[in-house]
Amino acid sequence: MNKNTIWGLIILIVFILGGYYFFNTRQLDNNILQTQTNDQEESQMQEKVTGTEDEVMMEEDGMMEEATKITVEGSEFKYNPSTISVKDGEKVVLTFKNVGNVPHNFVIDELNVSTKTISPGEEETVNLVADKSGTFAFYCGVGNHRQQGMEGEVNVE
């Protein structure tokens, strides 16, 4: 091979590698931008929650009101804690964390509370107002998880 052919091959390889890098970097940038856009849309859809571990502020009808923060973890096939107590009329910011190995959700029919079904390692926060006195069941509505023991109760006093 002569010197010009070798230089031609080197230049061709540089262009191919440069084009590959350029297009992959551009695709990565587009994926990052799409993820950031999705995160912004998701955060705008969630209600604003600020404050400390036990008491937070919950936005309701444009007003910030004090609320109690409760975290419930779900796994196969139980909740921790399995019993929650709140006062009648109390505002609650409830975070459901899936610490299990399969998708789960959290439902309280009588208080109109329901999270979406979330994957292992995810969490979802919902606001609720305990507007009725009594003892109400909460459960996982996925498949037969409730029948397998994935339920608990909320006591509204």
For residue range 104-128, list pLDDT tens digits in order. 999 999 999 999 999 999 999 999 9
| 73 plus 132 within the same structural domain | yes
Q: What is the CA radius of gyration of the chain?
A: 25
According to the model, what pLDDT value does residue 147 have? 95
pLDDT tier, 49 (very low <50, low <70, confident <90, very high otherwise) = very low
How far, rounded to the nearest angstrom, does the alpha carbon of residue 18 sit from its chain's CA centroid?
Answer: 39
Q: What percent of the chain has pLDDT over 90?
A: 52
- Nearest 10 degrees: Cα torsion 100, 126, 107, 39: -50
| 133 plus 59 within the same structural domain | yes
pLDDT tier, 9 (very low <50, low <70, confident <90, very high otherwise) = confident
| 41 plus 27 within the same structural domain | yes
CATH number at residue 61: 2.60.40.420
β-pairing, 91-98 vs 63-75, is parallel
| 39 plus 99 within the same structural domain | no
| 40 plus 75 within the same structural domain | no
| 88 plus 21 within the same structural domain | no
The answer to whether 150 and 74 are in contact (CB under 8 A) is yes
| 31 plus 54 within the same structural domain | no
Instruction: Please say whether the dihedral angle defined by the alpha carbons of residues 61, 63, 67 and 71, taken in this order, is positive or negative.
Output: positive
| 83 plus 146 within the same structural domain | yes
Q: What residues make up the domain containing 7?
A: 1-45
Structural domains counted in the chain:
2
Which residue, 91, 96, 120, 93, is CA-closest to 107? 96
| 25 plus 99 within the same structural domain | no
- Nearest 10 degrees: Cα torsion 41, 46, 48, 54: -140
What whole-number distance in Å separates Cα of residue 91 and Cα of residue 40?
Answer: 26
| 28 plus 60 within the same structural domain | no
| 2 plus 77 within the same structural domain | no
What does pLDDT average to over the chain? Answer: 80
| 27 plus 58 within the same structural domain | no
